[in-house]
Amino acid sequence: MFAYRLIFLGLLSLFVQSLLAEQRTFLPPEQAFKVSAAAGAADRVDLSFDIAQGYHLYRDKFQFQSQTQGVELGQVQLPAGVIDHDQVFGDLEVYRGGILKVPVSLINKTAQNSVKLLVKYQGCADEAVCYPVQKAVFEVNLPAAQTDKDCNKLIKILCAGLKGGELLKPEQAFQFFASVKDANTIHVSWIAAEGYYLYKNKLNLTLESKTQTQLAAYNLPKGESHNDPEFGEVEVYRQEMGVDVPLQRTNLEAETVTITSKFQGCADRGVCYPPMNTSVSLELPIATAQTKKIIAPQAMSEQDQIVNSLKQDSLALTLLSFFGFGVLLSLTPCIFPMIPILSGIIVGQGENICSRKSFLLSLSYVLASALMYTVFGVLAALFGSNLQAVFQEPWVIATFSALFVLLSLSMFGFYNLELPKSLQNRVHHSSDAHRDGSYLGAAIMGALSSLIVGPCVAAPLAAALIYIGQTGDVVLGGSALFVMGLGMGTPLLLIGASAGKLLPKAGAWLNTTKAVFGVIMLAVAVWMLARILPASVSMLLSAMLLIIPAIYLGAIEPLPNPASGWKKLWKGLGLILLILGVLQLIGVSAGNSNVLQPLQGLASAKADTKNHLVFQRVKTVAELDRLLQQAAAKQQPVMLDFYADWCISCKELEAYTFTDAKVQQQLSGYLLLQADVTENNDDDKALLQRFNLFGPPGIMFYSADGQEKTANRVIGYQEPAKFLSSLQQL
> What interhelical angle do 338-347 and 508-529 show, nearest 10?
150
* Under 8 Å between Cβ of 26 and 83: no
Low-confidence ranges of the chain (pLDDT < 50): 1-4, 6-9, 11-12, 14-23, 146-164, 289-298, 416-420, 423-424, 427-428, 430-437, 504, 506-507, 604-610
Instruction: Kindly report whether the global pTM for this prediction surpasses the value 0.75.
Output: no
| Residue 232 β-bridge partners | 228
Roughly how many angstroms between the first and final C-alpha of the chain, as a whole number?
59
Q: What angle do CA 263, 269, 275 make, to 5 degrees?
A: 20
SS3 469: helix
Residue type, 267: A
Tally of CB atoms within 10 A around 420: 8
Distance between CA 107 and CA 716 in Å, rounded?
58
Long-range Cβ contacts of 277-280 (<8 Å, 24+ apart): 278/175, 278/176, 280/176, 280/177, 280/178
Quick one: pLDDT at residue 476?
75
Residue ranges of alpha helices (H) inside 136-245 are: 153-160, 170-173
Quick one: pLDDT at residue 699?
92
CA 380 to chain centre: 13
Quick one: pLDDT at residue 334?
64
What domains sit in the chain, N to C, each tagged with a CATH number?
A: 2-141 (2.60.40.1250), 153-298 (2.60.40.1250), 312-505 (no CATH), 607-728 (3.40.30.10)
Non-local CB neighbours of 128 within 8 Å, separated by 6+ positions: 16, 87
* Under 8 Å between Cβ of 50 and 88: no
* Under 8 Å between Cβ of 622 and 233: yes
* pLDDT tens figures, 25-37: 678 888 888 898 8
Tally of CB atoms within 10 A around 340: 18
Quick one: pLDDT at residue 416?
45
* Under 8 Å between Cβ of 60 and 122: no
Measured between alpha carbons, how far is residue 381 from residues 60, 477, 693 in Å? 47, 9, 10
